[in-house]
Amino acid sequence: MKRLLIPILLFMFVLLGCQAPPAESISQPAEQELALDPDIAERHDTAIPEPYAGTTSPVAAEDASSGELYTLHCAACHGDSGMGEGPAGQVLDPPATDIANTSQLVSDDYLVWRISEGGSSFGTAMPAWKGTLTEGEIWSLVNYLRGLSP
């Protein structure tokens, strides 16, 4: 019986994967996103405002200063590993996101918007960094967040 378990499970996954999604669900968030806290998923689905919508990074992906910036400005809340384990972030409501995870699910323009403007659109404690960090530094941080993984 044990030997059959894996083929049966695989078969079930194939069956599940074959079901064509109904037309209206095509624009729904990716499967991983569905496991997210609904409030986080809702923020991810918000239309990205101007001037951020569609912007792409002017900073090379290998830019090295971003780790220091992250440790200095972000780790207290988001944690060294980016899993939201920073003590200052855990006491907030909503708490600091597990950014190592969510950065893999969203677009660059979403990240640059959220870092620049913080939680102002959502009434959260995420600070706005646009007055403190340069645009280049914010883009370096986007690269850094992408390099983190859960």
Please report, for residues 30, 34, 109, 115, the alpha-carbon distance to residue 72 in angstroms, rounded to integers and kept in the order given.
32, 32, 23, 14
CB of residue 122 vs ligand HEC: minimum separation in angstroms? 5
- Around 72, how many Cα atoms within 13 Å sit in the side-chain half-sphere? 10
88 interacts with ligand HEC by CB under 6 A = yes
CB of residue 58 vs ligand HEC: minimum separation in angstroms? 17
Nearer to ligand HEC among residue 28 and residue 120 (C-beta): 120
Long-range contacts of residues 49-55, Cβ cutoff 8 Å, at least 24 apart:
49/113, 49/121, 52/109, 52/110, 52/112, 52/113, 52/116, 52/117, 53/109, 53/113, 54/109, 55/108, 55/109, 55/112
66, 77, 109, 140: which one contacts ligand HEC (CB under 6 A)? Answer: 77
Write each residue from 99 to 118 as x if it is in contact with ligand HEC (CB under 6 A), else as -, in one continuous string: x--x--------x--xx---
Nearer to ligand HEC among residue 13 and residue 39 (C-beta): 39
Nearer to ligand HEC among residue 10 and residue 53 (C-beta): 53
Handedness of CA 54, 113, 96, 144 (dihedral sign): positive
Query: How many Å apart are CA 8 and CA 78, to the nearest integer?
Result: 40
Residue list 130-149, contact with ligand HEC (CB under 6 A) = 141
79, 82, 89, 100: which one contacts ligand HEC (CB under 6 A)? Answer: 89
The residues that touch ligand HEC, with contacts defined as CB under 6 A, are: 40, 43-44, 73-74, 76-78, 88-89, 92, 94-97, 99, 102, 111, 114-115, 119, 122, 124-127, 129, 141
